Amino acid sequence: MATSSGRWEALRKEARHLENEIDVQLVTLSKLGVGRGLSLSDGSPGACDAVAVTIEKLLMKLSNINGGMSDELQGYSSTMMSSSMAHTLQRHRDILQDYRQEFNKTKASIRANRARDELIGSVRRDIDAHRSRTDLYMKEHGQLQSSDRLLDDSLGVAMSAEESLLSQRRVLSRTNSQMADLLNRYPAIGNLINRINLRKRRDGLVLGAVISFCIIALFVYARA
C-alpha cells in the first residue's frame, strides 16, 4: 500500500507540473495569436506552430498521467482514501478538459487570423495589380490622345495647303478668263502678242542656225 501511495503521489506531482507548463504554453500561444499576431517581434506562423506542437505533447503526457492515476486508484481498498483520490483524479481530468478546450479555441482563433491576413494580403495584391494595370491604361490613353492631336494637326496643315492651292487655281482661272476677254475685246492686242511669239520663235531659229554654223566651222577648222 505504501508503495502504491508513493506512486500515486509521484503521478499527482507530475500532473501538477504538466498543468503548470501547459498553462504557460497556452498563455504564450495566446499572445502570439493576438490580433494580427502571427508576426510579432518573436513570433511568426512557425513560432505559433511550434508552441502548438509542444502543447499537444504536454496534453498527451497529462492524459497518460491521468490514466496512470486511474490505474493506481483501482488498487486501493480504503473507501475513504479511494473517494478522496477519485475526487483528485476527477479534478485533474477537468483541468485537462479545460486546457483542451482552451487550446482548441486558441488554435481556431489563430487559423481565423491567418485566413484574415491571407485574405487582406490577397486583396491588397489585387488592388496593386489593378492600380498597375490602370496606370498602364492611362499611359496608353495619353499616348493615343497625343497621336490624335498630332494627326489632327497634320490634317489641319493638309487642309490649309489644299485651300491655298484651290485659291491659287481660282486666281489663275480668273486671270486667264480676264485675259481671254481682253483679247476678244481688243484683237490688236492678240495680234501683237502673236507677232511677239512669232518673232521669238524666229529669233530662236536664227540663233539656232548661227550656233550650228559656228559649231560646224569649228569642227572643220579643227580637222584642217
Query: Smallest Cα–Cα separation from 99: which of 126, 62, 146, 147?
Result: 62
Banded model confidence at residue 1, pLDDT cuts 50, 70, 90: very low
In this predicted structure, the answer to whether residue 25 has a pLDDT above a threshold of 90 is yes
Q: Assess whether pLDDT exceeds 50 at residue 19.
A: yes
Evaluate if residue 43 carries a pLDDT over 60.
Answer: no
Report how far residue 132's alpha carbon sits from residue 44's, in angstroms, rounded to the nearest whole number: 30
| Interval 90-144: pLDDT, tens | 999 999 999 999 999 988 888 888 788 788 877 777 777 777 777 777 787 778 7
Where is pLDDT greater, at 209 or 44? 209
pLDDT at 56: 93
Q: Taking all residues of the chain, what is their mean pLDDT, rounded to a whole number?
A: 78
Q: What is the mean pLDDT of residues 27-56?
A: 70
Q: What is the mean pLDDT of residues 27-46?
A: 61
Q: Tell me, what's the pLDDT at 139?
A: 81
pLDDT at 77: 56
Determine the Cα–Cα distance for residues 78 and 46; give it in Å rounded to an integer: 50
Percent of the chain's residues with pLDDT above 90: 19
Residue 42's pLDDT band, with cuts at 50, 70 and 90, is very low
* Cell digits of residue 204: 530662236
> pLDDT tens across 136-175, in order?
777 877 787 777 787 777 777 877 777 877 778 777 777 7
> Which range, of 23-27, 101-105, 178-182, averages the lowest pLDDT?
178-182
Most confident region among 39-48, 50-59, 179-188, 208-217 by mean pLDDT: 50-59
In the structure, what pLDDT confidence band is assigned to residue 81 with cuts at 50, 70 and 90? low
- Of 4, 97, 10, 19, nearest in space to 61 by CA: 19
